[in-house]
Amino acid sequence: MMTKGGHKVQAGTYWNMANGERVDLDQEGVLPGSGQDMYIKAPAVMAIAAGPVLGLVFAMFLPFIGIAMTLGLVGRKLGEAVSEAAAGSMSFGWRPIEAYLAGRKQKKEAREKKADKGAKS
């Protein structure tokens, strides 16, 4: 039986579904919290019996959780390595620090002439 916070209820044990808080009422009273808080009426014996079942479910899925986290970590590291390699191989022809005011073509032609003279000798 689901009940919202702030409502008047019978005596008993109520469990807050959002944070797992247990509220024991010895007599009729009002549940703490706002209308957004949902409570379920459950005897303490039922909650104690549910503990081992929840532990079993956790133990069954723990290996899968570990595998998924490991695969996610490996995938993220591979993605970072690929993006760093791609970024390192990319090159711009433009270098804002360098200014070829004397003319780049003239220097290239001068080097070629010098190389030609050295090859002919």
- Looking at residue 2, its pLDDT comes to 80
For the ranges 36-45, 67-76, 82-91, 101-110, the maximum mean pLDDT occurs at 67-76
Q: Are 5 and 36 in contact (CB under 8 A)?
A: yes
pTM here is 0.41
Q: Higher model confidence: residue 102 or residue 40? A: 40
Whether residue 57 has pLDDT greater than 80: yes
- What is the distance between the alpha carbons of residues 41 and 21, in angstroms, rounded to a whole number? 12
Amino acid at 56: L
The residues near 70 (Cβ < 8 Å, ≥ 6 apart) are none
What residue has token string 């993220």? 76
* DSSP of 10-28: -SEEEEETTT--EEEESSS
Instruction: Indicate the DSSP class of residue 96.
Output: T
